[in-house]
Amino acid sequence: MKIGIIICDRYRNCAGGKCFKAIKNREGAFSIYSKNEPLDVVGYTTCGGCPGGNVEYVPEEMMKNGVEVIHFATGTIVGYPPCPYLNDFKNLIREKYGLKVIIGTHPIPQKYYELHSKIGSWESSESLVWEDFIQPTIADEETRIAYN
């Protein structure tokens, strides 16, 4: 499986350590892939900053390297505020490029899980269903702590 990862521009200096750990261990949103299935990251970039200018064209560039699925990094849901454009990005990429889009990469670190749960960041609105977005990266508490 060839994967592209788009991270929030706030974290543009992120080296992807937690994402790559999760790929290796098949944790978080990467738990949907069999440990026997090779995963190849063929693109890793930022959204370009709000409101996500890169999202309009980077999937096409990643497709040149054979990308089959785009993952939006967990930072898009644990940063503050969580990205309000995720649903728009997901719809754009699916419709324009025909690619599968998954929200999340590594498990949500426990410290972010506690904070966002406490302040209500992931309470759903009409335009975003946060429960659906965070589900692939919730994991169990022990795993979340390991990603702190």
Q: Is the CATH number 3.40.50 carried by domain 2-146? A: yes
If DSSP codes are grouped into helix, strand and coil, which group holds residue 145?
helix
| DSSP letter, residue 140 | -
Phi, psi of 40 (to 5 degrees): -125, 115
pTM for this prediction: 0.93
Provide the edge-to-edge strand list for the sheet that holds 2-7: 40-46, 2-7, 69-72, 100-103
Cα 69 to Cα 59: distance, rounded to the nearest angstrom: 9
Query: In this predicted model, what pLDDT tens digit does every residue of 1-26 receive, in sequence order?
Result: 999 999 999 999 999 999 999 999 99
Cα 141 to Cα 147: distance, rounded to the nearest angstrom: 10
Query: In this predicted model, what pLDDT tens digit does every residue of 78-133 receive, in sequence order?
Result: 999 999 999 999 999 999 999 999 999 999 999 999 999 999 988 876 556 788 88
